Structure 1
Amino acid sequence: MSAGTTRLLLLGAVSLFEPVNGYQIRRELLSWRVDEWASIRPGSIYHGLRALAGQELLTATTIDDDGRDVVVYEITPEGRSRMETMIVDAIESVNVFDRRAFLAAFSLLPTLAEEQARASLTNRRAALVDGLAELVAGQSNEYAPPHARRTLDLWTRLAWTELTWLDGVFAEWEGGDLRATFHHSWAPPADDPGTEMIAERERYLRALGRS
């Protein structure tokens, strides 16, 4: 997995839950199963957060949390700008052979303005149609061995599946369900770790003198 996608996931997770500590980010990202589809080693998350703080894309502040020192992270204006650019690029740049960057960006879709998110997905759909046309044209190569043609057929079917999936995303958008994530009308259930993070966020904000 590229370092850029790892940075994107870390910036995005911090932006969703800030102020947030490293353990919370690790737990949240592992619940997204990033260790499986994004090949992110759990132990590298802490190093990545410190590196982003060193690049001034995050701030790292040590606070007293019930008698123990805890480092909490927040995204900086530069970090947010970088994150949004990376999300748009990952959504609009279609690679029919590797969708991991897109999966990372789509996981962070609510961090964009709704209008930007929809525009970027619309651009992706158009680019995907072009990519599909190239795949279909490649299937007519009479010199390709049978197993290679079957491989290309798999890539083509996967691209068609994504196109159908995108149309479903737009349909859900029109129905209003997807808008909930942009207008803060969705909340995790009471037994979800995300609910605990919301309570911890309020405690961290008080420690930072911002509640």
Structure 2
Amino acid sequence: MTGMSVTTTRLLVLGAVGLFEPVNGYQIRRELMSWQVDAWASINPGSIYHALRSLAGQGLLIDHTIGDGGRDVVVYELAEAGRVVLEDAIVAGVSEVNIYDRHAFQAAFGLLPMLGDRRAEAALRARRDAVRRAIGDVMPPEDGRAYAPPHALRSLALWKQFAEVELHWLDGVLADIASGALSFEDTGRWAPPADDPGYQIVEDRERYRAALHRAPN
């Protein structure tokens, strides 16, 4: 299972379940849509429900049907195999660099609290090193540039500048971690305000935990 390929959709669905478990499918859909995944990752609501069912069928999620307010609700939790796959995928999404496509990184960065500070920082440092190397490989060598049309070279220069901006950004993120201004621990300082519509997910989680005979968080 640890070598399983995880698409951006599967990574986000596994991660959202891990962050809010036990959680129902509608809540996962609402949460991911609030992250605007339809805009930057081209993920539609239907694919979220499909991913939940598929991941449960593969043993990466555990689904429970419980009674809730007079109706049956299916809620999801990470299976142990799913937790291993998820954490490996987060590390890979952060540390493996494709400067032409950052969808996997964008998804993985949002899930770094699943790793905690030490592993998150290590993955970010690995990414910074990889971005540095990639910057040097974007443009063809001087003796090969005559074979590329000028507009293509300008396009490559734009990709190089994107990577340079990311490198500067990574330096800032790592500096914030070092100073204590940024933490990826699950017990971090931030919590959603009580009037946030998404806060309902927290209340529902405790009700679902009670229905599953678990101790509240």
Normalising by structure 1, we get a TM-score of 0.94
Letter of the structure 2 residue corresponding to residue 199 of structure 1: E
The alignment status of 1:9 with 2:41, answered yes or no, reads no
Q: 1:112 aligns with which of 109, 112, 115?
A: 115
Give structure 2 stretches of 5+ with no counterpart.
none
How far did residue 183 of structure 1 move? 3.0
Paired position in structure 1 for 2:148: 144
Moved more, 27-36 or 140-149: 140-149
Give structure 1 stretches of 5+ with no counterpart.
none
After the TM superposition, which residues 104-183 of structure 1 pair with which residues of structure 2 at under 5 Å, given as runs? 104-138=107-141, 141-179=145-183, 181-183=185-187
Paired position in structure 2 for 1:36: 39
Provide the C-alpha distance between the structure 2 equivalents of 1:209 and 1:183, rounded to a whole number of angstroms: 23
The alignment status of 1:50 with 2:44, answered yes or no, reads no
Paired position in structure 1 for 2:95: 92
Letter of the structure 1 residue corresponding to residue 187 of structure 2: H
Would the alpha carbon gap of residues 24 and 161 (structure 1) be closer, same or farther in structure 2, given more than 3 Å must change? same
Aligned-residue CA RMSD (Å): 1.6
* 1:11 aligned counterpart, secondary structure: helix
* 2:135 aligned counterpart, secondary structure: helix
* 1:72 aligned counterpart, secondary structure: strand
Paired position in structure 2 for 1:102: 105
> How many pairs does the alignment contain?
210
Moved more, 27-36 or 167-176: 167-176
* 1:44 aligned counterpart, secondary structure: helix
Letter of the structure 1 residue corresponding to residue 59 of structure 2: E
Normalising by structure 2, we get a TM-score of 0.91
Paired position in structure 1 for 2:202: 198
How far did residue 180 of structure 1 move? 5.9
User: Contact between 1:139 and 1:153, CA under 8 Å: does it hold in 2?
Assistant: no
How far did residue 196 of structure 1 move? 1.3
What CA deviation, in whole Å up to 9, does each residue of 1:76-134 have, x standing for no partner? 11000000111111111100100000111101000013211111110110011000011
Provide the C-alpha distance between the structure 2 equivalents of 1:77 and 1:130, rounded to a whole number of angstroms: 35
User: Contact between 1:8 and 1:86, CA under 8 Å: does it hold in 2?
Assistant: yes
* 2:147 aligned counterpart, secondary structure: coil
